[in-house]
Amino acid sequence: MSPRDVTLPEPEPSPVRRSFLFLQGPISPFFAEVAAGLHARGHAVHRINLNLGDKLFWRGAPGVAEDFTGRVEAWPGFVADAMDRWAVTDLVLLGEQRECHRVAIAAARERGVAVTVTDFGYFRPDWITLERDGMGGDSRFPREPEAIRALAAGLPPADLTERYKDDFRRQAVWDVLYHLANMLPWPFPHYRSHHLHHPLATYAGIGWRLLRRGAERAEGARVLAHVQGKPYWVFAMQMETDFSIRAYSDYPDMDTPLREVVRSFAQHAPRDGQLIVKVHPLDPCLKRWGRRIPAIAAAAGVTERVHVAHHGTLDAMIAGSRAVVTVNSTVGLRAIVMERPAKALGRAVWDVPGLAHQGALDAFWAEAAAPDAALRADFLAALQATTQVRGVFYGEAGRRVGVAEAVAWCEALRPDAAAVTPGATGFDAA
């Protein structure tokens, strides 16, 4: 099924029965609904709950669910035994770098089980990523221009029209419910979250930002107005808890790339150049970036040229900028969509010669070039057709479409296939 299809007739049951094992997914009924769709098409579905939040969001799902309540050292044997007992053909999960998922993926590979990973889309806001084996730095999507052009042959242009709204209020409520449930000592006494911060600290930080939303918006508008008429660059921050930083970069935190970028900017950008440091909208700011970033700028001697924006219209910031630098955020892909130069400091699916700056960071300020127009069109078309399905995790209308697309994607992925085809589930990964 093309990721651009929006008419989703009820398909006939599949003639080939598969056995799907779901692990942790979005904090949403999305996985339970995908499992129901696969079950309705004749497949076996199974689930292992690792915490109470997992269990809450699996309520009403068909198939067999088991709770893992043991210690971490028992997990490898538990998940391997479950795969054998259930004759699992497909493993489905979000966050392939979580330790529990890394162990499960290793067991799956030993058994020839197909691994499907998902997360928010590379394209925002109403796309979902579905890939085989890994995303981001581990994505099978090629980084060679010729391979990308070959993938794009015959594909329609990428669809960049927004069709569905997500429900961020519902996302917040479900997130709180999930994490508060996991704080209870029963019935998963040994569960340890992959997050870096205690959920109450995170919620306190986010709550404070919500109270200051008006001030943050004013700050972003002020910064954008200040840099108008001057050459400026945007550094898009990411959250330290995100595995895009922890697994797909060499940085131990966000302070390190911040210092690296600001120091390079101070030494190599034009003397009248300005740098906007855009804080991630969901960062709880436990590190007080509003103080920390100016201190980094002061140490580099560019206090008056580095500006913190906790909030602001990202597209407007990108549109007027000379270029965008980030570790590996999808903001870099957004810059490419908007035909602006971009630089990845980590490992990103969009870090392709001809699209993103491949030289040193110090040369980036003077030499960054806009993406090649033809390659950009081919890249966007191929990436969307092979890794994206339309939909969202929270809003009802978009979730309904995303579930149907995900069911079709999972079913189209043959466990014994070394390659899959554009427009269905992927690309030649051999």
Instruction: Confirm if 355 and 337 have CB atoms less than 8 A apart.
Output: no
What pLDDT, on the 0 to 100 scale, is given for residue 100?
Answer: 97
Instruction: Confirm if 98 and 23 have CB atoms less than 8 A apart.
Output: no
Instruction: Confirm if 419 and 427 have CB atoms less than 8 A apart.
Output: yes
Residues 6+ apart with CB under 8 A from 71: 190
Instruction: Confirm if 328 and 244 have CB atoms less than 8 A apart.
Output: yes
Contacts 24+ apart (CB under 8 A), 280-284: 280/236, 280/237, 280/238, 280/239, 281/311, 282/206, 282/239, 283/205, 283/237, 283/239, 284/197, 284/201, 284/202, 284/203, 284/204, 284/205, 284/206, 284/209
CATH of domain 214-375: 3.40.50
What pLDDT, on the 0 to 100 scale, is given for residue 413?
Answer: 73
For residue 424, what are the β-bridge partners? none
Which tokens hold the place of 421?
Answer: 């085809």
Per-residue pLDDT of the chain (430 residues; tens, 9 = 90+): 333 333 344 555 555 799 999 999 999 999 999 999 999 999 999 999 999 999 999 999 999 999 999 999 999 999 999 999 999 999 999 989 999 999 999 999 999 999 999 999 999 999 999 999 999 889 999 999 999 999 999 999 999 999 999 999 999 999 999 999 999 989 999 999 999 899 999 999 999 999 999 999 999 999 999 999 999 999 999 999 999 999 999 999 999 999 999 999 999 999 999 999 999 999 999 999 999 999 999 999 999 999 999 999 999 999 999 999 999 999 999 999 999 999 999 999 999 999 999 999 999 999 999 999 999 999 999 999 999 999 999 999 999 999 999 999 999 875 544 333 444 444 443 3
Which residue matches tokens 């129901």? 36
Which tokens hold the place of 61?
Answer: 């799902």
Element (H, E) at 67: strand 64-67
What pLDDT, on the 0 to 100 scale, is given for residue 424?
Answer: 42
Domain ranges of the chain: 19-166+378-412, 214-375
End-to-end CA gap in the chain? 22
> With 0-12 CB in 10 A as exposed, 13-18 as middle and 19+ as buried, what is 328?
buried
β 127-132/388-390 pair status = antiparallel
What pLDDT, on the 0 to 100 scale, is given for residue 1?
Answer: 35
Neighbour order of strands in the sheet with 342-344: 306-309, 274-278, 232-236, 323-326, 342-344
What is the CATH T-level fold of the domain 19-166+378-412, as seen in this structure?
A: Rossmann fold (3.40.50)
Which tokens hold the place of 133?
Answer: 């084996």
β 127-132/114-120 pair status = antiparallel
> With 0-12 CB in 10 A as exposed, 13-18 as middle and 19+ as buried, what is 154?
exposed
CA atoms within 13 A on the CB side of 399: 18
- At residue 319, what is the residue type? A
Residues 6+ apart with CB under 8 A from 85: none
Element (H, E) at 260: helix 255-268
Instruction: Confirm if 406 and 29 have CB atoms less than 8 A apart.
Output: no
